Structure 1
Amino acid sequence: METKMKKQRFGARFIKNFWRELEKDNLALVTVVLLIALFLFIVIGQFFVPSNIGTMSDILNANLPPMSGGHILGTTDSGADFILTLIASAKNSIIIGFGVAIIITVISVVAGMIIGYFGGWIDWLSMRIIDFWLIMPLIMILAIIFSTAKGLSIWNLILILGLTSWPASVRLVRTLTLSEVNRDYVDAAKISGTPWYKILFTGIFPNISPTIISDFALTLATSIGIETSLTFLGFGLKQGTNSIGMMLTVLSQNSASTIYTQWWLWLPETIVLIILTVGVVILGQVARRASDQRQSVS
């Protein structure tokens, strides 16, 4: 009961500190408003998105300009409403970002903490593997994989990105664990016979969680950016699957004058992409500061 109450107090204190940090940071406050508005736009808009929007083919209504035929921002080259396509694309990009970030964070927390805690030959061997992996040109490797597969589903893309993008985060968690493993509270836990996994996940993990929160936010934003880049270059998701990168491919299919004369084809999804990536990183920093404050008073 006492532990449960303590967790509740920690949660309430974190939320209180989070809102206090928002009040002091005008940029973060604006970011929260924009993200909430964007998420509401996506959630509510899902009720109006046709199930076949990714495979729709209406040549007669293709590439309509804004305010034509009842379409506020016109239509895509397949004849689908531009706003509804943007809603479906943003939803898929968010799913990909969160899916990849969760996989990477779970791998990095488990592997990084174990490597940092036990050290020795485990640490040496793991670091050599990670060093080798980090010098590999990840984008080129992913492009080869995706071009061979000729387009992937959302879940396969999440799995591949998650299983190939973890080394940097593992190294970060390993370094954080090394900074904690020789502290007095860890030595005391070892002497008292506390199992190593309890030391890791109830002792060390809470102390390094602020940085992990920040890294999660950065990983989330990076994952959305990588998916967008790969799809824009012609790799990544299979045809018929909406994403922000897929919508931006219109720039590579038209002349440079499209940027100036047909702004509605690229500007809305660019704004959504900026709000998602930059906004998530800013909120991650706010959450990190709030978590630091919570620990300092606990």
Structure 2
Amino acid sequence: MVLSDRAGADPGPTPHEPPDRGDSARSDLVILSGATGSSGRPRSAAIGPLDPRRPPETLTDRDVSALAFIGRSQEAAQYQLHEAVFPGLGEAVVSRRIRKLAARGLLAIERWNKVGINRLRLRPAGRDAVVERNGARDDELFLLRAPLAQSAVAHHLWVVDCRLIIERLPAPPTSAQPSWVLERRWNPRPAAIPDVLAIWRPTRESPGHFLALEIDIGTEAIRRTFVPRLVALAETLVPFAGTSPAFISVLTRGSRRVAAIQQAVASASIALPVVVDSLPPAAGRPAFAALRTLLTVGAKSPSHPGPA
């Protein structure tokens, strides 16, 4: 899968934005008073932004939110961070901010297959900064020693995309947690864990419901591997849901695989309803509108009736 988003690229300053002039920019200078010149009279000395004597720049609240988003995501693409934390700002602004955070050792940047996507990971110093500023608890953040394997990146990006959209639905869930968070919290670990578990708690107007989202990118055998996992996933979720409505939503690639999964699900014994739809043909930011429609409808899909 090739994602077309170019969020990682920095096209340079916009017509309304002054250029980044490095040491020559007067706003970047720190003045040291008391230095003496050749005449013996006091003078001021300027410290440029790359001078090691310069104090570190204070992290903004948005910086902390950005680092926390990356840490909660294990690994995030820059376009996802842009949507979550920097909405409405230009790509050049986001790229420049990311480079500054990386230069301070707070995050790591990897390029994905040279397709214009920056993959971002939190580093230990970034985690410490987030926790110190109360941006997130330590147990909410994930540090990867190395980038995700190439074979896992496409699936992971879809999961982060979907979680991002679910959290911003017109009626957002009380909680929307990805599999890596559930794996950390559920002990003992169940036989199957959804890619995203969204929970709407009961209110006076609604009984609440559970949505288990599975992203299928077509790499698994349907009857031998994928459907048995759906069976196990339903058995895991039924005790959690109790009498609340719950169902499984599957997003997969292409109409033919949708039909094949639907046929296999119909002949299997699964304790929860399973709704199967196609992933958007586009990927990355261009897919957000289609995902929003799919997940808004999915959040209202048929649910199991609960125990008799």
Is the pair's TM-score, using the shorter chain for normalization, greater than 0.5? no
Larger radius of gyration: 2
Considering fraction of residues, name the structure with more strand.
Answer: 2
- Structure having greater relative contact order (Cα 8 Å, sep ≥ 6): 1
Q: TM-score, normalised by structure 1?
A: 0.23
Considering fraction of residues, name the structure with more helix.
Answer: 1
